[in-house]
Structure 1
Amino acid sequence: MRLLPSLALGVSLFLAGPAIGQNLRIGIQAPPSTLDPHWLLNLANTGALRNIYDTLVARDHEMKLVPGLAESWRVVDDTTWEFRLRPGVRFHDGSPLTSADVAASFRRVPNVPGNPNPYSIYLAGVTGVEVVDDLVFRIRTSGPLPILTTNLTQVFIVPRSVAQLGNPEFNSGQAAIGTGPFRVGSWQTNAPLVLRRNDAYWGGRVPWETVTMTPIPNDAARIAALLAGDVEFINNVPLQDTGRVQGDRRLALFAAPSIYAVNIYPDIERDNAPGIDAGGRNPMKDVRIRRAMSLALNRDAMARQIMEGYADPTDQPVPPFVFGAIPDRAVPAPNIAQAQALLAEAGWGQGFGLNLFCSPNRTPRICQAIAASWTRIGIRTTVEVVPQATFLPRRNRREFGLFVTVFGSLTGETSYLLGSQLHSVGTVPGLGTLNFNGLGAPATDAAIVQARATLDDAERARLLRALVQHVVDDSLIIGVGLLRSVNAGLATLTAPARADEEVLAVEIRPR
């Protein structure tokens, strides 16, 4: 798009680029809903809060584990891990990081009242923290827990002085104290999050004095803000604008494979699941119906046409490159005739009706394509896009009989999805926390627990792959496609496109 002369002048002046030590303005699609690092696990929150808080173990932009607040760790025995903290790390209030802070943070994670999506899945199997001294502590587990270090990349550490405080105190800023590269300047719900440089950051020189993360949920407005010079960086570039960014020498596109998958979640438990028009029955309880629904999808066309090539088709609910996924699985082509035959075989040749509930986060156009594919085989499907503010609470109350949303394998291992979504609810602490579809069976639960406790990496990978294969074969969770991390900024900046799609201001640097 050709810019008006006044706009072009403003951009050209601005695109000289900010010098190190100045301010960085970032336009983000989804704002954080909290400053509490243990409240409401989702990308919008973790992506913002990782600028403020640190974890014991960290991830680089390719999801590889690297030391965080813990400089080293070792396995003592099957139920004990010993960690050593970095010396000299201080919280934003000046207090030193000690093992007691770690113990207090671990105790807080599962005990935040009314938490709609807790972080407790990451501490499943952890029975306690033993403080050895200020810098050394031991984590006790109920059995072998080889994924402990992976899970700890999601557990933020706060000072013990605030660990007893609640969500309101964190959101007010009173308790929002971390060890990260930035401290909180100001924040209100749906308002910019202003961050100030932590000059005492243990990780080295922080490139920006101030970072402002401004919510710009509208795609067109976000790209316009970058073009107008109102921000220097944006995340989740509108796919229809990637070509424009790539063709503009003043801008740079930062893209890489993502861990986020678009998945379909059918209720396989309830006859009266909301949104199903089938005479009081639930056809999706029949595996043949779910397989027909999967066979009807043209995943390749969705990835190429709807997602502008910035997605990869798949029918497994996790990226093929994460630990425990099926790395070489061919994506099935759509087969309308076979799908219709399965419907008829299951006694639903006349079809039935469905309401497909859809998250607004990058999925509405995909939902429309899914609905068209199902209607073509006789499953009359309508789409209801649910506002982001109510989507998660309604999902948690199981008000959706069938929904589409984006799920990220945040730990880089399939055990996260399998443990939280495939395991039965309420049978093992910390597992089944995101199971809103009635999935789970005793044999499957036992296989998940076994895989999570297997120390040998090759054997654990085999067990996890078998579970993913079970999910795919029975279409328990129907994978549609893998998204890509696509950000943009001034050509004077450099930034890795993180596979977890988080935006870490400390990684955005002047060239």
Structure 2
Amino acid sequence: MKEKLKIRKFFLVLLIIMVITGCSTNKNAGTTGDEKGVKAKNGGTLVIVRLSDAENLDHHFMNTINAASITHGKVYEGLVGRDKDSQIKPLLAKSWKQVDDKTWEFKLREDVKFHDGTPFNASAVKTNFNRLLDANVNAPRAGVFKMVNEVKIIDDFTVQFILSEPFSPLLSILASHEGGIISPKTIEKFGKNIINEPNGTGPFSFESWTPGQEIVLVKNDQYFGDKAKVDKVVFKIVPEETTRISMIEAGEAHIAEPLSVTMKDTVEASRTMGVYRSEGFGTEYIGFNYENKPFSDVRVRRAISHAVEMDTIIKGVFNNIGKQANSLLGSQVFGYHKGLKAYEYNLNEAKKLLAEAGYPNGFETTLLTMDAKERINLAEVLQSHLKTIGIDVKIQVMENGAFVEQRNNGDTQMFISSWRNATGDADYNQYNLFHTASKGAAGNTFFYSNKEVDGLIEAARKEEDQEKRQELYETAQELEMEDAVYIPVRVIENLAAISNKVEGFRISAAGYLELNDVSIK
């Protein structure tokens, strides 16, 4: 009986693969023979199937691009944004100027309303930043704006950001999801509690959220800018990747993300879908909890860094998708250290360092990862690599939301994670990931602390000369590598499976889904 079930299961899997791959070799995300010449039109419902749900829908509390992708640029917007080339552009502010090194002035649009009908104005901006910076609210994203002393209302449509010290990357932070402006009425309703009914100014408004199942946005017909082309967007939570891909094949969904490298070839062989690819700002890495033994010993961290053979990981786990990283900054990010050297593969040095640290026979540890296929594959390869130096690794796989919570709480020894870098500026990476003040949910889940690194990061924030800022960031990255806080893996490449019926979809370098130009054939 068991053998019959196995045979049936085998033929079912074979049938799914045959249906997906079809008889076509077309690998473009453009059109198939069936779609050729068919023009995309406005309207309809765009269905996006995703690996995991958002942890919340409040930009002041969001710690992941996964969550921010649902609302940033769709429900919430900031004073400034980024264009397709990642350059800063006006958004809710029509212009700005630096009055002096601590004062930035923004002239606001006068034709904007929130989804609830509340007018957008200077008071709304002040209300947002008052909430974000309120110690009683305890918002984890407050740290990125800690230099803001006051948002001063000059008139109904002019505000000034009064800083405690010069802060060069202010615009880059305002363009990220932390700078999203929430309706004052919603802030009044929720106060210091997390907002799970987002209310902004964007091209889409919030309709519903069924946790663990789906989030629904609808077109904002009153939007002041170019209106969305689809009527509705449904983000469905579908943990199993083969199911996500099958839903596109069956016409039940239009976009599946993220796409694992293991499914890339299957999608490319399909006649009804293609692969979307773009290089991102972010990187994937293996992190150590700096405060938990034995990883509080730099010799242990260096030993493990020497024991990982990264070439085989890039080829075997990631199929050469995403180039090998040498830092936690992607190569397109300002402040990236091109000449930084990661630890070379050297088992003899690894064993020597472990012995010096008091672990000549290795030790047992736990490696935490989220439930994405390539992350699990990476964990298994790491398990194999570290076994060669006597370290017995137990792999703990968790759903993304639970993984983020446990990682943020510091209940880790080693973990596999990523940092998308929402701004394209090194400050977003360096301050959040490595500064002592950012320990925990703000981003420093290494629980790392180095006063010299803190000083370099703080100096770079104040420095207006971009060449000097670059030098400061390079020195900080060198010290972080010397401390072996992490093992860089690869520069992230955004991958998604996209139906040939979809036009205009892209993923920004920061990792946000860009849907305003999407239309469906």
TM-score, normalised to structure 1, is: 0.88
Give the structure 2 partner of residue 434 of structure 1. 443
Measured at CA, do residues 37 and 497 of structure 1 come closer, stay the same or move farther in structure 2, by a change above 3 Å? closer
Aligned length in residues = 491
What does 1:33-432 correspond to in 2, within 5 Å? 33-50=55-72, 51-111=74-134, 118-153=140-175, 154=177, 155-166=179-190, 170-171=195-196, 173=197, 176-269=198-291, 273=292, 282-329=293-340, 333-361=344-372, 362-425=374-437
Q: In terms of mean alpha carbon deviation, does 152-161 or 309-318 score higher?
A: 309-318
Note the C-alpha offset of 1:143.
Answer: 0.6
Measured at CA, do residues 390 and 488 of structure 1 come closer, stay the same or move farther in structure 2, by a change above 3 Å? closer
Check conservation: 2:366, 2:393, Cα contact below 8 A.
Answer: yes
Could you tell me which amino acid in structure 2 is paired with residue 159 of structure 1? S
Q: C-alpha separation between the residues in 2 aligned to 1:266 and 1:364?
A: 17
Q: C-alpha separation between the residues in 2 aligned to 1:468 and 1:505?
A: 35
1:362-404 Cα offsets, whole Å, 9 max, x none, are 5222112122211112222221123333223323332212222
1:158-187 Cα offsets, whole Å, 9 max, x none, are 12222233276842x3xx321111111222
Measured at CA, do residues 114 and 160 of structure 1 come closer, stay the same or move farther in structure 2, by a change above 3 Å? closer
Q: C-alpha separation between the residues in 2 aligned to 1:440 and 1:43?
A: 25
Runs of at least 5 residues in structure 2 that lack an aligned partner in the other structure = 1-16, 25-31
Q: In terms of mean alpha carbon deviation, does 492-501 or 47-56 score higher?
A: 492-501
Q: C-alpha separation between the residues in 2 aligned to 1:490 and 1:392?
A: 30
SS at structure 2 position matched to 1:26: strand
Measured at CA, do residues 122 and 90 of structure 1 come closer, stay the same or move farther in structure 2, by a change above 3 Å? same
Measured at CA, do residues 61 and 351 of structure 1 come closer, stay the same or move farther in structure 2, by a change above 3 Å? farther
Measured at CA, do residues 330 and 472 of structure 1 come closer, stay the same or move farther in structure 2, by a change above 3 Å? closer
Q: C-alpha separation between the residues in 1 aligned to 2:56 and 2:287?
A: 27
Measured at CA, do residues 68 and 329 of structure 1 come closer, stay the same or move farther in structure 2, by a change above 3 Å? same
1:265-287 Cα offsets, whole Å, 9 max, x none, are 22233xxx3xxxxxxxx343332
SS at structure 2 position matched to 1:400: coil
Could you tell me which amino acid in structure 2 is paired with residue 456 of structure 1? D
Check conservation: 1:233, 1:489, Cα contact below 8 A.
Answer: yes
Q: In terms of mean alpha carbon deviation, does 331-340 or 445-454 score higher?
A: 331-340
Note the C-alpha offset of 1:145.
Answer: 0.5
Q: C-alpha separation between the residues in 2 aligned to 1:60 and 1:219?
A: 31
Check conservation: 1:316, 1:468, Cα contact below 8 A.
Answer: yes
SS at structure 2 position matched to 1:3: helix
Check conservation: 1:320, 1:328, Cα contact below 8 A.
Answer: no
Measured at CA, do residues 193 and 431 of structure 1 come closer, stay the same or move farther in structure 2, by a change above 3 Å? closer
Give the structure 1 partner of residue 11 of structure 2. none
Q: C-alpha separation between the residues in 2 aligned to 1:130 and 1:506?
A: 32
Give the structure 2 partner of residue 484 of structure 1. 493
Measured at CA, do residues 4 and 344 of structure 1 come closer, stay the same or move farther in structure 2, by a change above 3 Å? closer
TM-score, normalised to structure 2, is: 0.87
The two structures, once aligned, show a CA RMSD in angstroms of 2.8
Runs of at least 5 residues in structure 1 that lack an aligned partner in the other structure = 274-281
Check conservation: 2:220, 2:227, Cα contact below 8 A.
Answer: no
Measured at CA, do residues 135 and 330 of structure 1 come closer, stay the same or move farther in structure 2, by a change above 3 Å? same
